[in-house]
Structure formats: structure tokens, C-alpha cells
């Protein structure tokens, strides 16, 4: 999938946080989700890794709204500044990599479950970008995880492990470093 389609797909999922933050629900009980991240490049190469997502809390609208407002008024840099001092909402770990704290977690009810959007203020991993041994690149300073969960905590999602955030009107546009969709499958809730 090309970068344009990637941004459009993630805009549909992650962009919802800009428009629905007022209806965000709050969760206080920690939950641990495991998943498999898979990516397939245009040239047919593929890879996968286990992912562990811990949600310690979701943000109430009163906490999320100022962060969204900062992003709308000043872009990614203003959001980064607004996130300073925000208590972690959980963590994400890809494979045997480091545990990265999350700084923004909201959830919205859906027909049979919920949509959870998670943001870290640092990249998780730089995947490929059509080059072996991909190196960090300026501007790809966040990671975005979108989960579509059913009532039992299972589901699917996507992860942009190194992302640049921009606005297109009122929609969040997630530009992933690799330009490939990293899908989260086999999401299960830990016990």
C-alpha cells in the first residue's frame, strides 16, 4: 500500500480523536493486550513481531482536549510541548525492544466494542523505508496505535511505529516513516 493510502487509512482511525475527544470515555483499570504486528512491503517482503500494549488509563475529555487544542493551534511541536509532564497512560513494546510510555490514550464506544487511539511522544522503531538498517529521521517523533476492539478485548488495528503528525483541515494525518501499513492482528486481552 502506498504512503497516500496509508495516510488516508490512518486519518480515518486516528483522525477521530480530533473530532470526538469530547465523547472520550475514561478507563482506570489496567489492561494488557497482546498482538502480532505484520508488515508486507510493495516488493513482497514481510515481517512480524509480537506487540504488548498496556493501557493503565484512558484520558477524560478534560485532559485530552487541551492536548488536541495545542496540536490544532501549533502542530506537532506544540503537541510535544503540551505532553511534557503528562502522566503516562500505559506503554507499548514491540518485540524485545524497550518499553515505551504512552502519553495520550482515548477510547470511543462503537456498536459492539470500542476504538482506542494511543500516542507515544517518541518513535517505537524505524521500519525499513525501503532500506535495510533504517535509521532515525528527524520529524518522525511519535508513534500512533489504533485498536478496534470487541467487547471481550479482541480485535485488530494498525500501528505507525515512527510517525510524523500533521493536520489536514481538522483531520489528523499520520505519515509513517516506512510508508507501509503495519497491521495488528490476533489482539487478545491478557488475564
Q: How confident is the model at residue 32 (pLDDT cuts 50, 70, 90)?
A: very high
**pLDDT per residue as tens digits for the range 97-131:** 999 999 999 999 988 899 999 999 999 988 765 45
Is the pLDDT at 91 greater than 70? The verdict is: yes
Q: Give residue 191's pLDDT.
A: 63
Q: Give residue 38's pLDDT.
A: 93
Is the pLDDT at 51 greater than 90? The verdict is: yes
CA 40 remoteness from chain centre: 19
The span from the CA of 9 to the CA of 6, in Å, is 5
Is the pLDDT at 75 greater than 80? The verdict is: yes
- HEC-encoded secondary structure of 56-119: CCCCCHHHHHHHHHHHHHHHHHHHHHHHCCCCCCEEEEECCCCCEEECEEEEEECCCEEEEEEE
Q: How confident is the model at residue 6 (pLDDT cuts 50, 70, 90)?
A: very low
Nearest to 36 by CA among 123, 167, 154: 154
Nine-digit cell string for 98: 524497550
The span from the CA of 116 to the CA of 105, in Å, is 7
The rounded radius of gyration (Å) of the Cα atoms in the chain is 15
**pLDDT per residue as tens digits for the range 127-140:** 765 454 556 677 88
Q: Give residue 153's pLDDT.
A: 87
Q: Give residue 133's pLDDT.
A: 55
pTM: 0.82
Q: Where are the domains of the chain?
A: 3-189
Comparing 163 with 173, the larger pLDDT belongs to: 163
Amino acid at each position: 500500500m502506498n504512503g497516500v493510502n496509508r495516510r488516508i487509512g490512518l486519518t480515518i482511525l486516528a483522525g477521530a480523536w480530533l473530532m470526538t475527544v469530547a465523547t472520550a470515555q475514561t478507563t482506570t483499570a489496567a489492561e494488557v493486550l497482546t498482538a502480532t504486528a505484520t508488515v508486507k512491503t510493495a516488493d513482497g517482503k514481510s515481517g512480524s513481531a509480537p506487540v504488548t500494549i498496556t493501557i493503565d488509563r484512558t484520558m477524560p475529555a478534560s485532559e485530552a482536549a487541551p492536548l488536541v487544542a495545542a496540536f490544532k493551534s501549533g502542530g506537532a511541536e506544540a503537541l510535544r510541548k503540551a505532553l511534557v509532564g503528562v502522566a503516562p497512560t500505559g506503554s507499548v513494546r514491540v518485540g524485545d525492544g524497550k518499553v515505551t510510555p504512552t502519553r495520550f490514550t482515548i477510547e470511543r464506544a462503537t456498536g459492539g466494542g470500542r476504538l482506542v487511539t494511543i500516542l507515544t511522544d517518541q518513535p517505537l522503531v524505524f521500519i525499513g523505508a525501503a532500506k535495510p538498517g533504517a535509521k532515525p529521521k528527524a520529524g518522525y517523533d511519535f508513534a500512533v496505535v489504533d485498536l478496534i476492539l470487541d467487547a471481550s478485548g479482541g480485535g485488530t488495528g494498525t500501528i505507525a511505529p515512527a510517525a510524523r503528525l500533521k493536520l489536514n483541515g481538522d483531520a489528523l494525518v499520520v505519515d509513517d516513516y516506512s510508508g507501509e501499513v503495519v497491521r495488528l492482528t490476533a489482539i487478545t486481552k491478557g488475564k
